[in-house]
Amino acid sequence: MVRVLMAVRIAPDVIILSRAELTRHLIRAGFEIEQTRYFGKNRLSPFIVARKPA
């Protein structure tokens, strides 16, 4: 559905990342991953807690 909405310019461009890719991007940006959890049965939507050290 998102691709259709992007094609007709209703939705902005969306980049889908795996949990590993997202984690890598956060670490490269200087964040430390505190924890990663999944809520419910959907293993495609991780909840990631990250912080940037002072």
Answer yes or no: is pLDDT of 54 > 90: no
pLDDT (tens digit per residue) in 11-27: 888 888 888 999 999 99
Q: Which residues pair with 51 in a beta bridge?
A: 32
| pTM listed for this prediction | 0.70
Report the C-alpha gap between 45 and 20 in whole angstroms: 12
Picking from 14, 27, 13, 2, the residue whose alpha carbon sits closest to that of residue 48 is 27
Total residues belonging to the chain: 54
Confirm if 13 and 21 have CB atoms less than 8 A apart. Answer: no
**pLDDT value of position 35:** 95
Place of tokens 């795996």: 18
Q: Where are the domains of the chain?
A: 18-54
pLDDT (tens digit per residue) in 3-14: 888 889 888 888
Picking from 46, 26, 45, the residue whose alpha carbon sits closest to that of residue 37 is 46
